[in-house]
Structure 1
Amino acid sequence: MPSAGAAALAWALLWLLAPPPALPEPLDPKKNVEQKDAVFDRTYSDWVASDTLNIYAFNHTVLRNRTEGVRVSVNVLSDHKDLPVLFVVRQKEAVVSFQVPLILRGLFQRKYAYQEVSRTLCQPQTKVEVETQHFFVDVSTLSLNASYQLRVTRVENFVLRTNEAFTFNATASQPQYFKYEFPDGVDSVIVKVTSAMAFPCSVISIQDILCPVYDLDNNVAFIGMYQTMTKKAAITVQRKDFPSNSFYVVVVVKTEDEVCGGALPYYPLSKRTSPDEPVDQHNRQKMLEVMVSPAITSEAYVSSMLFCLGIFLSFYVITVLIACWENCRQQKKKGLLAAMDSPSLDTASLLGHPHSIPDSFLGHAPYVGCGYGSFENGSSCSTEAITDSMGSADVSYGYVGERSLENVASRPRLDSLSSVEEDDYDTLADIDYDKNVIRTKQYLCVADLARKDKRVLRKKYQIYFWNIATIAVFYALPVVQLVITYQTVVNVTGNQDICYYNFLCAHPLGNLSAFNNIISNLGYVLLGLLFLLIILQREINYNRALMRNDSHALECGIPKHFGLFYAMGTALMMEGLLSACYHVCPNYTNFQFDTSFMYMIAGLCMLKLYQKRHPDINASAYSAYACLAVVIFFSVIGVVFGKGNMVFWIIFSVMHIMATLLLSTQLYYMGRWKLDTGILRRILHVMYTDCVRQCSGPMYVDRMVLLVMGNIINWSLAAYGLLVRPNDFASYLLAIGICNLLLYFAFYIIMKLRSGERIKLIPLLCIIGTSVVWGFALFFFFQGLSTWQKTPAESREHNRDCILLDFFDDHDIWHFLSSIAMFGSFLVLLTLDDDLDCVQRDKIYVF
């Protein structure tokens, strides 16, 4: 094999022996150059050949405090597409050249030819009061003979006036741009461009006062900020971004409408000799209206943020006032009982205080009296009744066992949780038998499903909070990093089609393009934090009651477990953070940031409702979050691949129905069934014995009604998704969760009232107020100011002006109201069963 040096030597010899390249032909010294003095507003009809060069000399007076636009319009009458006519405009600080026919490229490198071309010349700045500037238009071609028309005119209304609309026409080969100068005292303006016709598609660009101006379809995106447009476009411009205190508003009509959601034009090959031949385009003219208005001032930013803070901090003030008022009532009742020397429950009832002290939002004070009726006879829970209940606690309560009441009272209630494990109580076979006996009774009480040691359950439910806190950290950090990158790309490239804002009400601050959509999410964070503080106070009061061996805390009411409440408050705060991240740059690739914790909130609320009456058999945190992870996984897959994909929708619908059936079985049998190879045989056996041999109704009628209704709703939603295949899969999935939550909540309320329980004043007011707020919130949510299901230009057709303080739009009001409604919904779950705090657990029904 030859060496590398020999190969290099061979190549050098070949290069030396090769003939020299052909030199270009020398310029024709006999080329005729004809220069003419030309004037404005006159049409020059002339011709040019390969051996001629026509030069038109123009001059005009430029004033420093007045700007006039100059527009060059040409029309080539000859049809020589292979030998176009070249026009070169030489002026101060710039040279503009273009050929006619003007060839522009569209999608798939399609070529479009234009015979009529108009270009506006940029206006270089002058430092003197009056200056006469000269510019020349050179016309040349390689054609034998090409006829053309040339006209140079002054542009009327070249400088846009504040708050004055100006109407004009534009085409792909005849773009338009105008100048705007910031008036004194105005630091930010919003440029609004509208059109009555959606197509042809156009581009709106904001560029600095530089030469040349990029005003063609193939170069308009090179500098500045730009948006595609059908009927509406709006760009907020700040003075600090333009050192000259002025800018150009450039309007370009695109060669094709595909980027705006229109159909790609079809041109049959029979009209052309080859696919590469340019296509003549006609009638792609668009009438537009542009208006520049001052944007809001810095004082509006401050007042709007103070308004936002004031709304949500007022909830803190109201909560503290209610807590102080309740505390005063508690102290007054304690003083009255002490004065009468009657601390017993019976004396309190005889004194005309048959009802327990109302609970505040911040928790329970120590109970000094109770009068809540039982489910059966409505009698008050006297001291004797409570004593009898405690005496029989070895039957009803698993954590009492064989110990006497004195041993229960003497046991420390806040033992370390590190030595308590749930598995210590579920290892013997007789425990499983006991579960089958208890959970398959026709009528269950809370005492039947509150048999495990409270310390075990407390540890089990605390995992909900720590898991969601861990999830939040690992989920939020990449999200923040990603949206910062999105915003940086928007700011650097100027492409405002990346993010789907409501541009008519998008107020920038710093590097953020829509600060108002971000700050409006503050309510989720503040109200979530307030809910955590309320839960913390309730837990402190409950633990103090346990330390005092309070009989009500030990044996009455729904068992108090706060882990799920902490998880719900954390999820509400994370919803605010991730919704703010999503609104930094909303688009279809990051929509799941806005919905992920909504799924978690819906799931946690359903788990909390179920936990109230089923504390022993509620799902563990690991299985619950695993199911929610599957939901989020399907959300991402649906957004990316689900649009119109029939295979995906079939798979999802089948899994939706199967999951509904499995969950229904789990709820109906209280977890006392097994999913194994014998499941089909057992199903057939039950159907044969209950439906064929004897027609008997279901043993658990209430549960059956709930599950039948749930299956009907979920099967209907699955059928709707399979038939319609909605584009917004994430919202469709969220609707499934909300429908199931509302169904279960309505069932819970109905069964609560049907069981003889009552709803106290505070939860009743929360239910009514929350329902009203949800109604208004959904009204603003469905206004649809933008949608990433369409193109950015089509999305802007839904944009609308601000409606609150000239700062917040409809979607911001949705953020305000939905955060308040979620907080109210959490309070409903927290206080809904406060009427049972003096009712013995063996008299509280499970449903």
Structure 2
Amino acid sequence: GFSHLDLKLSCSLPSVDAVRVYVNSSSENLQYPVLFVVRQQKGVLSWQVPLIFRGLYQRTYNYQEVSRTLCPSEPTPETGPSDQIIFVDVASMAPFNIAYELLVTRLENFQLETNKAFNFTASPSQPQYFLYKFPQDVDSVIIKVVSDAVYPCSVVSVQDIVCPVYDLDHNVEFNGVYQSMTKQAAITVQRKDFPGEQFFVVFVIKPEDYACGGNVNRTWNLQRTKNLQVTIVPSIKKSIYVQAMFFSFLSFLSFYLGSVVVAFVTDMKLTVPFGSVFFAGSGIMTSSHPITASTPEGSSYGAIDESSSSGGRQLSSPGCGLPAGSDTDSSVEEESDFDTMPEIESDKNVIRTKVFLYLSDLSRKDRRIVSKKYKIYFWNIITIAVFYALPVIQLVITYQTVVNVTGNQDICYYNFLCAHPLGVLSAFNNILSNVGHMLLGFLFLLIVLRRDILHRRAMEMKDVYTLDYGIPKHFGLFYAMGIALMMEGVLSACYHVCPNYSNFQFDTSFMYMIAGLCMLKLYQTRHPDINASAYSAYASFAVVICLAVLGVVFGKNDMWFWVIFSMIHVLASLALSTQIYYMGRFKIDLGIFRRAAMVLYTDCIQQCSRPMYMDRMVLLIVGNLVNWSFAIFGLVYRPRDFASYILGIFICNLLLYLAFYIIMKLRSSEKLLPIPLFCIVATAVVWASALYFFFQTLSSWEETPAESREKNRPCILLGFFDDHDVWHFLSAAALFFSFLVLLTLDDDLDTVRRDKIPVF
């Protein structure tokens, strides 16, 4: 049969008329549905009853009750109050009569108001949408939607004033921006994106919940109604953006001021006598007594001898040493081109197996060659940074473009309650907060450069204290650490352009490298001749990054991955421990297991002798226990955030080694000067504060976008930065202080002969 209804509605300024049509039919015959067609001045809307929704695996859901809001018409000042006519056609091809119910009502609360909460109910067959107009003094608003119930899954969409309005599950993504939602959602809308300075807020309930993380196989009741509350609040003003940028830059520029003050005070102190050492006004260091070659009691074996003809550098008097400018001589050969210690090749294996090693035993290579070896770290990391960053930047620009073009805000895992857009960027605050890594990384490079220049000048002046006293100064690893800190800021900013499952490694890759470089630098301090080469170190970092990617892809459900990874972790710990214990003289090849078994049998079973190197043994036993505990934990619990799991392994090993180093330093009657002591305390305090904010999880790409938004929280700093931004600020400062600890930790040894500095 066919029915036709004519409805005539009058509207008056300045209200906006919205009409809602409710229909109900008792017929469940899918072969002969009842068809409803509503014709208006600007469009046609149609649907059928039963209304059919198709879900996953071709499941169908039929609804007998349907309620739709018609596209509203707004009278203009030119035409004044007018009448609008609506035609409703009802038809069915059924050979029998079908009863239906039709109800047309005018909506009284169709226009949303600023800062006023509005409650309503929606279901898959009864979507809702409302109108919002920008007030005169508001350029940006945040639409906040909350619900007490997690399910049913829903979608919130913001659409321009265009008819028809896309308010069904299969078409809500066709227009505007949208988010899936469980308990809360938030969308920031800017006036400039809507020429008419008004928009629709559309609410659609999905027939299934798998898009929001629900159980795919669960059978749902068709009564899928959801109570929602929507509140539209003004977003921050432009002045807040300016304040936030000033705060970010001034906070870290204060570190520059502090560094200048410390450098000035230090230079002032160096102009007064210190023992037998003086700094003249010209900056030349002289000594009142020549250095003798006497060695400490009980350490004559392997100590440096002035009369030695070996390739190791001799203790020098002010009249002898490297020629001026020789450190930067481009004619210096690469270490790999020839053996730098030809005469002592026969006895270096014996020297390194001494029970009590001194720094002079492990700094026998030509200083120029070793310096060039460590500068490779700096040049390699610049190359890595360029080749890594360029495709990353290109990719995240593509991600942001896709988000802006499609309107799909489920692609990126922001904290939507504190995501402040600027230009094409959706969350400018998360990007701005990474400025600290770049500014402090550059400052650290300047501090290292200053030390490097002063060291070069002292070398040119043949200063004996620079040549033969204190820790050998090699700055290549420090430069690499500064570049890594800056790149961490760049790549973290890139990651936060669009945080998601596909680009998580952008934010963590250089964290692994920073932790690894810090451990290498700490080891290099007292083992300058036997530290790892740049090529093997960066190759190891590449393996770690590959494992991190594989762990995120396969680590969630694959037990075999965790078994293999745990085996690799344990074997790598044992191999590295062996290298450290035997000072690099334990050859790693196919025969390593046979030799290790032989050593274990002779030292532990046959005679059970006390370990020859007790301090190293204690460190390595504790280190292996920590790493084996990590391996067992991963195998048993299989943590979902594999990237953070690996980073935790690196950080724990670094902290363990640093604690061991400081304890051994104090055991050896060495001192902690005020500056490194301050840096150690500052590092501990700032890291503790930073980690507190790091664990305030605001989003998680391991879950669905809707589940991730349940963790979203408002801003906590200046109304612009959230907890994760504060983590960025504090972690940058903490890394900077950590680097300063490594840079200044052994400054107290600058007037101690190297054959009196113990190795540990």
TM range (shorter): over 0.9
One-letter identity of the residue aligned with 2:547: F
Question: Which among 127, 147, 161 is matched to residue 113 of structure 2?
Answer: 161
Supply the AA of the counterpart residue of 2:104.
V
Question: Which amino acid counterpart does residue 155 of structure 2 have in structure 1?
Answer: V
Who is 1:687 aligned against?
600
Q: Does 1:703 align with 2:616?
A: yes
1:503 and 1:799 in contact (8 A); partners too: yes
Cα distance in 2 between the residues matched to 1:611 and 1:479: 32
Deviations 1:721-779 (A, max 9, x none): 11111111111111111111111111101111011101000010011011101001000
Pick from 147, 154, 161: which aligns with 1:195? 147
Q: What is the alpha-carbon distance in structure 2 between the residues aligned to residue 412 and residue 428 of structure 1?
A: 22
Q: SS at 1:226's partner residue?
A: strand
Amino acid at match of 1:85: V
1:469 pairs with 2:382: yes
Q: Deviations over 1:204-236 (max 9, x none)?
A: 000011110000011100010000000010000
Instruction: Give the corresponding residue for 2:179.
Output: 227
Structure 2 letter corresponding to 1:641: F
Task: Specify which of 703, 714, 721 is matched with residue 808 of structure 1.
Answer: 721
Q: 1:236 to 1:394 in 2, by over 3 A?
A: farther
Q: 1:514 is matched with which residue?
A: 427
Structure 1 residues 124 and 440, CA gap change in structure 2 (3 angstroms): same
Deviations 1:791-822 (A, max 9, x none): 00000000000001110000000000000000
Do the aligned residues in 2 keep the contact of 1:172 with 1:252 (CA within 8 Å)? yes
Of residues 157, 174, 193 in structure 2, which corresponds to 1:205? 157
SS of 2:347's partner is helix
Matched ranges for 1:350-389 at <5 A: 383=289, 388=294
* 2:246 corresponds to 1:306: yes
What's the offset of the Cα at 1:400? Answer: 3.1
CA distance in structure 1 between the partners assigned to 2:593 and 2:268 by the alignment: 62
The CA distance in 1 between the partners of 2:336 and 2:179, in whole Å, is 62
Q: Is the 8 A contact 1:208 1:246 kept in 2?
A: yes
Change (3 A) 1:428 1:544: closer
Q: 1:768 to 1:655 in 2, by over 3 A?
A: same
Query: What is the match of residue 117 of structure 1?
Result: 66
Distance, in Å, in 1 between the alignment partners of 2:292 and 2:690 is: 45
Q: Is the 8 A contact 1:112 1:281 kept in 2?
A: no
1:665–1:409 CA distance, 2 compared to 1 (3 A): closer
Q: Which amino acid aligns with 2:229?
A: E
Q: Describe how 1:216-365 pairs up with structure 2 within 5 A.
A: 216-266=168-218, 281-331=221-271, 333=272, 345-346=275-276
The 1:312/1:266 distance shift into structure 2, 3 A limit, reads closer
In structure 2, distance between residues paired with 1:169 and 1:185: 31
Q: Do the aligned residues in 2 keep the contact of 1:330 with 1:365 (CA within 8 Å)? A: no
* Greater Cα shift, 407-416 or 321-330: 407-416
1:98–1:432 Cα change, 3 Å = same
Instruction: Summarize deviations over 1:33-52 as a string: whole Å, max 9, x none.
Output: xxxxxxxxxxxxxxxx3xxx
Q: How does 1:43-192 map to 2 (within 5 A)?
A: 49=1, 53-127=2-76, 128-143=79-94, 144-192=96-144
AA aligned opposite 2:241: Y
Structure 1 position 395, deviation (Å)? 5.1
**Which residue of the other structure, out of 701, 704, 708, is the alignment partner of 1:795?**
708
Q: Aligned partners of 1:242, 1:345: CA distance in 2, in Å?
A: 75
* In structure 1, distance between residues paired with 2:323 and 2:44: 96
Confirm or deny: 8 A CA contact 1:507 1:514 kept in the other structure: yes
Please say if 1:559 is aligned against 2:511.
no
Q: Give the distance between the partners of 1:133 and 1:432, measured in 2 at CA.
A: 100
After superposition, the Cα gap between the structure-2 partners of 1:166 and 1:365, relative to the gap in structure 1 and judged at 3 Å, is farther
Q: How does 1:397-416 map to 2 (within 5 A)?
A: 398-400=311-313, 406-408=319-321, 413-414=326-327, 416=329
Q: Percent identity?
A: 61
> 1:405 Cα deviation (Å)?
7.0
1:391-424 CA distance string (max 9 Å, x none): 9445598543599874436676435143323246
> 5+ residue gaps in structure 1?
1-48, 268-279, 338-343, 349-355, 358-363, 370-381
1:43 maps to what in 2? none
- Trace 1:443-842 onto structure 2 (pairs within 5 A): 443-842=356-755
The answer (yes or no) to whether the contact 1:449–1:615 under 8 Å persists in 2 is yes
- Name the CA distance, whole Å, in 2 between partners of 1:409 and 1:575: 38
- Tell me, in whole angstroms, the C-alpha distance in 1 between the residues paired with 2:26 and 2:478: 78
Tell me how far apart the structure 2 counterparts of residues 677 and 636 of structure 1 sit (CA, whole Å).
Answer: 29
Q: Structure 1 CA distance, aligned partners of 2:587 and 2:568?
A: 19
TM-score for the superposition, normalised by structure 2: 0.95
| Cα distance change of structure 1 residues 428 and 802 upon mapping to structure 2, 3 Å threshold | closer
Kept in 2, the 8 Å contact 1:397–1:450? The answer is no
Deviation at 1:104, TM superposition (A): 1.1
Q: Quick one: distance in 1 between partners of 2:309 and 2:521?
A: 23
Q: Is the 8 A contact 2:515 2:651 kept in 1?
A: yes
Tell me the alpha carbon deviations over residues 682-702 of structure 1, each in whole angstroms, 9 at most, x when there is no partner. Answer: 233322322233221110001
- CA deviation vs aligned residue, 1:221-273 (integer Å, no higher than 9, x gap): 00100000000100000001111100001000000000100112445xxxxxx
- In 2, Cα distance between equivalents of 1:208 and 1:741: 54
Counting matched residue pairs gives 748
Alignment partner of 1:432: what SS? coil
**Larger Rg over CA atoms:** 1
Q: 2:152 & 2:477 partners in 1: Cα distance?
A: 55
- Aligned partner of 1:326: which letter? T
Q: Which moved more, 1:318-327 or 1:736-745?
A: 318-327
Describe the shift of the 1:241–1:702 C-alpha distance in structure 2 as closer, same or farther (beyond 3 A).
same
Q: State the alpha-carbon separation in 1 of the partners of residues 323 and 53 from structure 2.
A: 90
Q: 1:57 to 1:265 in 2, by over 3 A?
A: farther
CA contact (8 A) 2:340 2:366 kept: no
Q: Indicate how the Cα distance of structure 1 residues 706 and 135 shifts in structure 2: closer, same or farther if over 3 A, else same.
A: same
Does the 8 Å CA contact 2:111/2:130 hold for their aligned counterparts? yes
Paired residue secondary structure (2:327) = coil
Q: Distance in 1 between matches of 2:650 and 2:164?
A: 56
Measure how far apart 1:330 and its partner are.
Answer: 3.2
The equivalent position to 2:332 in structure 1, one of 419, 422, 425, is 419
Is the 2:49–2:63 contact (alpha carbons within 8 Å) kept by the matching residues of 1?
A: yes
RMSD: 2.1
Structure 1: how far apart are the matches of 2:718 and 2:8? Answer: 51
Q: 2:252 aligns to what SS in structure 1?
A: helix
Q: CA deviation at 1:82?
A: 1.3
In 1, Cα distance between equivalents of 2:231 and 2:315: 84
In the TM superposition, residue 365 of structure 1 has moved relative to its aligned partner by 6.8
SS in structure 1 of the partner of residue 168 of structure 2: coil
Instruction: In structure 1, give the amino acid aligned to 2:110.
Output: F
Whether the 8 Å CA contact 2:22–2:103 is kept in 1: the answer is yes
1:482-526 Cα shifts (integer Å, max 9, x gaps): 000000000011000000000000000111000000000000000
Is contact 1:417-1:455 (8 Å) kept? Answer: no
Cross-structure match for 2:299: none
Q: 1:272 corresponds to which residue?
A: none
Shift of 1:68: 3.0
Report the alpha carbon displacement of residue 675 of structure 1 after superposing the two structures with TM: 2.5
Quick check: 1:397–1:451 contact (8 Å CA) kept in 2? Answer: no
CA distance 1:614–1:711, change in 2 (3 Å) = same
**How far does the alpha carbon of each residue in 1:78-136 deviate from its partner, in whole angstroms, 9 at most, with x for none?**
23221000011111101100000001111122211100000001113332221111101
- Tell me which residue corresponds to 1:41: none
